[in-house]
Structure 1
């Protein structure tokens, strides 16, 4: 049963990654009041995954994206919906600044990832992390 939920649309004009990071931090503060994370580093992992999923949506799609966070019994779901039906394209992370780290980190930190189509023709990526 979920205890804390956040749903926020992130328009491209309002610094969506910073907005997502701030909203996630506030969500995690509320979540920690209800139930402390079971693992050290859980807060940082959730913050990083939320920021990376939003950054990827901004970088690789058009239009706004939406962030959905949900505290579950022993985990947190971090979901980002965008308007592209194209799934993430994994790349080898590069040290030259060209990217590839976001999807790698999301996969590394998450216990489960699911990608679902949206009714509007886009997709939602949900990453589940321990809490």
Structure 2
């Protein structure tokens, strides 16, 4: 887990959204639309670097849900004040972990960088157990 972030239980279900993105590219487009709408309505410029961070975080969360969590079961995105909040749910109860850079034989591992990237780029990360099983990971990425 990210040392500075929390794990919590949730009593209510997040519910399923028929149009939820199930692939990283779809999730990135949803984040781009939400951020662009916020910039349009508030008439503030969008920070390209901050948007890139948010797109990387959502890519990592959805990819991890697909590779390690049995697929994306729910997806939410909203722009809240100075940040974008993304929530990705999957079927697995397993918590995210940071894999060591080498295997027990001293060979370099491929991959394993997604969770540290999410933790580094996000202001807040929470992992919540879902009542029907699985988990929801919510990350807030600053937009400024």
What are the ranges of 5 or more consecutive residues in structure 1 without an aligned counterpart?
Answer: 1-6
User: Deviation at 1:73?
Assistant: 1.7
Matched, 1:90 2:98: yes
Provide the rounded CA distance (Å) in 1 between the counterparts of 2:111 and 2:138.
21
Q: Is the partner of 1:9 in helix, strand or coil?
A: coil
Matched, 1:122 2:134: yes
What are the ranges of 5 or more consecutive residues in structure 2 without an aligned counterpart?
Answer: 1-16, 103-107
The corresponding residue for 1:4 is none
Q: Is the partner of 1:44 in helix, strand or coil?
A: helix
Q: How many residues align?
A: 120
Provide the rounded CA distance (Å) in 2 between the counterparts of 1:20 and 1:130.
17
Q: Which has the higher contact order (CA 8 A, sep 6+)?
A: 2
Moved over 3 A (4+): 35-40
Provide the rounded CA distance (Å) in 2 between the counterparts of 1:112 and 1:81.
16
Matched, 1:19 2:33: no
User: Deviation at 1:64?
Assistant: 3.5
Q: Scaled by the length of structure 2, what TM-score is found?
A: 0.72
Matched, 1:9 2:20: yes
Provide the rounded CA distance (Å) in 1 between the counterparts of 2:28 and 2:120.
19
User: Deviation at 1:38?
Assistant: 7.7
User: Deviation at 1:40?
Assistant: 5.7
Select the structure of larger CA radius of gyration.
Answer: 2
Q: Please point out which of 46, 50, 60 is paired with 2:58.
A: 50
Q: Is the Cα contact below 8 Å between 2:65 and 2:71 reproduced in 1? A: no
The corresponding residue for 1:81 is 89
Quick one: structure 1 residues 80 and 37, their matched pair in 2 at CA, closer, same or farther if it must change by over 3 Å? farther
User: Deviation at 1:65?
Assistant: 2.9
Provide the rounded CA distance (Å) in 1 between the counterparts of 2:27 and 2:48.
22
